[in-house]
Amino acid sequence: MNKIFAIGDIHGCLEKLKELMSKIDIDSRNDTLVFIGDFIDRGRFSKEVIDYVLHLQGKYRKMVCLLGNHESMFLNYLEGVDEDMYLLNGGIYTLQSYKISFSDDIEKRKSKIPADHQAFFQSLRPYYETKDYIFVHAGLNPDVPLAEQGVYDLLWVRYEFIESENDIGKIVVFGHTPVGEKPLIRKNKIGIDTGVVYGGKLTCIELPDIKIYQA
């Protein structure tokens, strides 16, 4: 059976990501590697994380990269939208890594993002679904049918999803909300943001065996 390896929020922690990748036993042709979003912000090496993830895309045939709320805020910032909100949420470290100045206008900001990085950010998916799992950055709105979920909830929802006992018939694998040192594992959901940028660990979960790797 082909395996799925899902990695939680990275937030610019390049060395932890490299350490984690050295630990997982993944078949580069047949297994699927899923990144749950929030590659950037708060940590110091956001640009370098994207460089490394692009390198991994050339190595792993089945790789899925999801949109996190931090990538969404970054894209808005590049367009001059909700700038203060982005800076208050750790965006300053990403700007520093791309050498973007506060005085740069929109065109200057965009010019400092390499073309392959721009394409990467634009390619990020709001969710990824298989027969048994749904991978999403933040979670699902428990009061909305799956087919009607809005992108805002997929990127921002927190405890109303985590505490909900709604079962959609698939296990939801999510990040966004730090859940402690170990992943949150329940019958219908698995939380894999273990707070690496706050001094915690970066987590990968192997499915369907629910094997945990951490750095």
Say yes or no to pLDDT of 53 above 90. Answer: yes
Say yes or no to pLDDT of 145 above 90. Answer: no
Measured distance CA(63)–CA(215) in Å, rounded: 20
% of residues, the chain, pLDDT over 90? 95
Is residue 191 a contact partner of residue 183, using CB atoms and an 8 Å limit?
yes
What is the C-alpha radius of gyration for the chain, rounded to an integer number of angstroms? 17
Mean pLDDT, residues 180-205 taken together: 97
Helices within 79-186 (DSSP H only): 83-86, 92-97, 106-111, 115-123, 151-156, 159-162
**DSSP per residue over 135-150, as a string?**
EESS---TTS-GGG--
Mean pLDDT, residues 194-203 taken together: 98
- pTM of this prediction exceeds 0.85: yes
Say yes or no to pLDDT of 204 above 90. Answer: yes
pLDDT band at 4 (very low <50, low <70, confident <90, very high): very high
Sign of the dihedral defined by the CA atoms of residues 19, 20, 23, 29, in that order? negative
Is residue 171 a contact partner of residue 190, using CB atoms and an 8 Å limit?
yes
Is residue 65 a contact partner of residue 53, using CB atoms and an 8 Å limit?
yes
Read off φ and ψ for residue 207, nearest 5 degrees: -120, 145
Rounded (10°) CA dihedral 69, 199, 177, 170: 100
Is domain 4-68+126-214 given the CATH code 3.40.50.300 in the classification?
Answer: no
Mean pLDDT, residues 129-157 taken together: 95
pLDDT band at 20 (very low <50, low <70, confident <90, very high): very high
Mean pLDDT, residues 60-73 taken together: 98
When the pLDDT of each residue in the chain is averaged and rounded to a whole number, the result is: 97
Q: Is the peptide bond before 208 cis (omega within 30 degrees of 0)?
A: yes
CB atoms within 10 A of CB 62: 15
Cα separations in angstroms, 196 against 25, 60, 180, 186: 21, 24, 10, 21
Q: Which secondary structure element, helix H or strand E, spans residue 203, and what is its range?
A: strand 203-207
> Which tops the pLDDT comparison, 168 or 71?
71
Measured distance CA(173)–CA(191) in Å, rounded: 6
pLDDT band at 147 (very low <50, low <70, confident <90, very high): confident
pLDDT score for 36: 98
pLDDT band at 166 (very low <50, low <70, confident <90, very high): confident
